[in-house]
Amino acid sequence: MATVTLKVNGKELTVDCAPRTLLVEALREHLRLTGTHVGCDTSQCGACVVHVDGRSVKSCTMLAVEADGAALTTIEGMAQGGELHPMQAAFKEHHGLQCGFCTPGMIMSSTDLCARSATTPTEGEVRHWLEGNLCRCTGYHNIVKAVRAGADGMRGGK
Amino acid sequence: MTTTGIGASVRRKEDRRFLLGKGQYTDDLVLADQTYAMFVRSPHAAAVITAIDTAAALAAPDVLAVLTGADVAADGLGGIPCGWLVKSKDGSNMVEPPHPALAQGKVRHVGDPVAMVIATSKAAAKAAAGLVDVDYDVLPAAARLDDAVADGAPRVWDEAPGNVCFDWHIGDPALTDAAFAQAARVIEIDVTNNRVAPNAMEPRAANGHYETATDHYTLYTTSQNPHLTRLLLGAFTLKVSEHKLRVVAPDVGGGFGSKIFHYAEELLVLWASRRVGRPVKWTSDRSEAFLTDAHGRDHHSVAKLAVDASGKFLGLRVHTYANMGAYLSTFAPAVPTYLYATLLSGPYDFPAIYAEVKAIFTNTVAVDAYRGAGRPEASYLLERLVDKAARELGRDPVELRRQNLIQPDQFPYQTQVALQYDIGDYQATLDLALAAIDHAGFPARRAEAAARGKLRGLGISTYIEACGIAPSALVGALGARAGLYEAANVRVHPTGGVTVFTGTHSHGQGHETTFAQLICERLGVSIDNVEVVHGDTDRIPFGMGTYGSRSLAVGGSAIVKALDKIVDKGKKIAAHLLEANVADVEFKDGQYRVVGTDRVKAFGEVAFAAYVPHNYPIETVEPGLEESAFYDPKNFTFPGGTHLVEVEIDPETGVVEVVDVAIADDVGVIVNPMIVDGQAHGGLAQGIGQALLEEAVYDAEGQLLTGSYMSYCMPRAADLPNFKVGNHVTACTHNPLGVKGVGEVGAIGCPPAVINAVLDALAPVGVTDMSMPATPEKVWRAIQAAKKGA
Ligand code: FES
Ligand code: FES
């Protein structure tokens, strides 16, 4: 058994788990944060993306023990005070989701992209960045629109 | 139009929970005392099971049970049933082999379940599954369609000589022979529709809970139609009465057909729960999904088109082999027959058609309906053939199509393959799409690309589909073992809220919004006051689920019928409150009004009176305001349209880039344009995926070579362009909403347009054929071969 200390969505938490436990398992099964999804077993789909110390990471690719001491944000931590994060709001406005299963990973991945770049990413940049995130429902058209609008929103623009 | 009624792009009500990470998918649910199941699956495509030793697994820590086919047999569980009976042309029934939930005696595809391990944790179940020792005598396999029909091929089932499940036909052979006898030219094509894996992002999962005290079963499952699952569990597999069974499909992360069917795991978790006395959950991982979710497509066809000297189509003859896999999945026999061959007339005026379909067993996972189901196969065949005809006749592919399209004044149009199209305007969608892609400007774009060393091509497909599946009498006559109507219940609450219970199921289609819009439009209540409930057999009267773009056309129509009853009952109440004759009361904009006066009662007041019936026509009208309706449609609906795809090929690498997609569909009346466009986008992505990237490949021994996202190429954001989506509406003539359906148009219309574009681009270098998926390697090889030949 390993004890992992994490700061998840601003809260200090500890998880007692087997050393082989993946971060996504720690989140979903130990902490019951089920917004982070599992869509594959090969680190290809991006349904499990969370932020570890501010950077997007596929949580199925990392052991929980590797995240010991880190600050994590999951989809559950994005909205503040009942207000959707600008990226969440943009996904809703631009119909960037259908079944919603890929959506948490998409939001976590795109907010990282937009936080990294000083300007609104181009369509090509968004498409390139999202290569690690699969969506089977939307055809990406509206996701790309949403991410660019979300980038504007994150900068306080419209 | 109101801002929330029919025609408004209302933002989706369901989005908030998904965006917050608060969706409730099946695997999210952990029941008290939860246990976990893991399956031991066959590594061989065909083998005799000579022994199963479960002792070591049973002795492993935290293991509660290890169950095998012998336990399934001993407990009298039924085999997984097939919901559709097809007869061969000689009148004999299809070969319908047994499909035990856990293999008995033999395994017939890689992934066939052999044993089930139940433990108190997932990790323990997984570890113990590795300890189950199965001895196999490996048999030769018939894994691929062409191998399975070859002389001397191994038999998947002893009772199916030649591996033939059925040998079916449709159309008039004599009429077709006569048409071909008159033909000026006959164009022939040989096409394969590649096998694909549906790949909903949420893997399948099932959580079964048997309660001893009440003798009651609850199944949480990733299903597109929970009532059908309950029906099949009740009548065929678990064999307990439906009132003892509750099936819940909570939030479902996409289906695309793969979650329509009753799968063995759904039965097994319930049964195992009864055996171990605790809830049992199974969640597929992706590799397991590739091996066990029903695949789609997998046809091989040869078709001939007869034309007269002017290019008018005279007749069509088609021979198709359809791969069924090793077992018959719920809808499987319907796909290559009634959902495929009946669409072979396409949007064209064909005086004669004859089609033969042989369904073939192979040692692979079952093939069943996948987005479009049969219709993409028909459209691909026909649109490739028409393009080939245009090339051979020296005609422009657009003009050849235009000449043969059914004209607006020919509706209703009776095809030679059973369907009657009620309405359409194929010329209008053709013109819209051509304008959207700037068809006239294409030669200049091609020349510009050539200057950059790229090959540019434009591909077209004009297509039709049949959706809104039903009517019951018709599908019954065609072999369906269930009816295909839909049910709805509309409950108006005393203080004005409305709950709609629908038998359809939303797994991304946005029903919670679209259906609420119907209520807003009709009753004048605000959209926030409407809630749509689906996916729980204990809450919903009945239902046949969501597939074949039937939710709005059939389910929405059931809601409209229930709303009619609500409005009518309200009229009687309002007449009483207004002291008027019922005949003099009209309902409009949320108000009951005495015609020609300003005496009105708001809908809310009437609803309140129904629940607080102090001043009420109690002698003639019951209190309460809740109505149910079942709707069985008169016909299928027939969306159609034109899809245009422009590609650019790098001849050095063979990479095909889709540079532009413009589509114009006629999907009938549009309730929520934003959602309709989104459905079209999703279908296009899957269509382009099939055309360029995706293929489920088995080797000759029956090993799946594309069993993960490392080897199965899913379309990613960078593989796709933006889509130009246009619509031209002709209202469906036989449902009250005038709607047709949109979910599948992209997957049906797009793949042939992509391949036609690829062939258009490659024509200058002498390439004349290309199969799906047009991968860089295949394209590159075709270019090299053409160069050598030249
Ligand atoms: S679940 Fe992590 S990438 Fe698919
Ligand atoms: S919304 Fe369903 S997978 Fe993306």
Q: How large is the average pLDDT for residues A77-99? A: 97
Provide the pLDDT for residue B548: 83
Provide the pLDDT for residue B21: 97
- Does the structure show a pLDDT above 60 at B119? yes
A128 contact B CB<8A? yes
Provide the pLDDT for residue B496: 86
- Cα–Cα nearest to A59, from A67, A49, A69, A68: A49
Strands B455-464 and B640-649: antiparallel
Task: Quote the pTM value.
Answer: 0.97
Taking CB atoms and an 8 Å limit, are B20 and A76 in contact across chains?
A: yes
Helices B745-762 & B375-393 angle (0-180, nearest 10):
30
Q: How confident is the model at residue B765 (pLDDT cuts 50, 70, 90)?
A: very high
- Residue labelled with tokens 């597929």: B284
Q: How confident is the model at residue A73 (pLDDT cuts 50, 70, 90)?
A: very high
- Cα–Cα nearest to B116, from B267, B222, B247: B267
| Residue of A33, A93, A128, A137 best to disrupt the B interface, most CBs of B under 10 A | A137
Taking CB atoms and an 8 Å limit, are A137 and B254 in contact across chains?
A: yes
Taking CB atoms and an 8 Å limit, are B681 and A88 in contact across chains?
A: no
Measured in residues, chain B has a length of 790
Taking CB atoms and an 8 Å limit, are B508 and A100 in contact across chains?
A: yes
Provide the pLDDT for residue B421: 97
Provide the pLDDT for residue B1: 45
| Residue A86 Cα, gap to closest chain B Cα (Å) | 11
- Cα–Cα nearest to B364, from B329, B336, B324: B324
Taking CB atoms and an 8 Å limit, are A84 and B19 in contact across chains?
A: yes
A101 C-beta closer than 6 A to ligand 2:
yes
Residue B27: closest C-alpha in chain A: A34
- Does the structure show a pLDDT above 50 at A41? yes
CA quadruple B577, B581, B582, B583: dihedral, nearest 10: -150
Q: How large is the average pLDDT for residues A44-68? A: 97
Average predicted confidence (pLDDT) for chain B: 96
Residue B511: closest C-alpha in chain A: A98
Nearest CA, atom 3, ligand 1: A43
Long-range interactions of B472-481: CB distance < 8 A, separation 24+: B472/B632, B473/B632, B474/B635, B475/B338, B478/B334, B478/B337, B478/B338, B479/B84, B479/B85, B479/B86, B479/B87, B479/B333, B479/B334, B479/B337, B479/B338, B480/B83, B480/B84, B480/B334, B481/B81, B481/B83, B481/B84, B481/B85
| Residue B198 Cα, gap to closest chain A Cα (Å) | 9
Provide the pLDDT for residue B474: 85
CA distances in angstroms from B400 to B304, B388, B397, B769, listed in the order given: 16, 11, 5, 20
Provide the pLDDT for residue B198: 97
Model pLDDT for residues B468-501, shown as the tens digit of each residue: 887 888 888 888 888 888 899 999 999 989 999 9
Average predicted confidence (pLDDT) for chain A: 96
Nearest to A139 among B18, B682, B708 (CB): B682
Alpha helices (H) in B238-314, listed in sequence order? 264-276, 286-292
pLDDT above 90 coverage of chain B, percent: 94
Structure tokens, B325: 């896999």
Model pLDDT for residues B143-184, shown as the tens digit of each residue: 999 999 999 999 999 999 999 999 999 999 999 999 999 999
Provide the pLDDT for residue B623: 97
- Which residues 15-34 on chain A approach chain B with CB closer than 8 angstroms? 18, 28-29, 32-34
User: Cα(B414) to centroid of ligand 1, in Å?
Assistant: 49
Model pLDDT for residues B738-747, shown as the tens digit of each residue: 999 999 999 9
Q: Which residues 6+ apart lie within 8 Å of B182 measured at CB? A: B306, B308, B314
Number of Cβ within a 10 Å radius of residue B172: 16
| Residue of B370, B716, B745 best to disrupt the A interface, most CBs of A under 10 A | B716
Q: How large is the average pLDDT for residues B36-63? A: 98
Cβ–Cβ < 8 Å for A156, A150: no
Provide the pLDDT for residue B470: 75
- Cα–Cα nearest to B374, from B148, B723, B86: B86
CA B514 to chain centre: 19
- Does the structure show a pLDDT above 70 at B790? no
Provide the pLDDT for residue B3: 85
Provide the pLDDT for residue A157: 62
Model pLDDT for residues B38-50, shown as the tens digit of each residue: 999 999 999 999 9
User: Cα(A24) to centroid of ligand 2, in Å?
Assistant: 19
Query: What DSSP designation does B47 have?
Result: E
Provide the pLDDT for residue B511: 92
Q: Report which bound ligand comes closest to the CA of B27.
A: 1
Q: How large is the average pLDDT for residues B652-660? A: 98
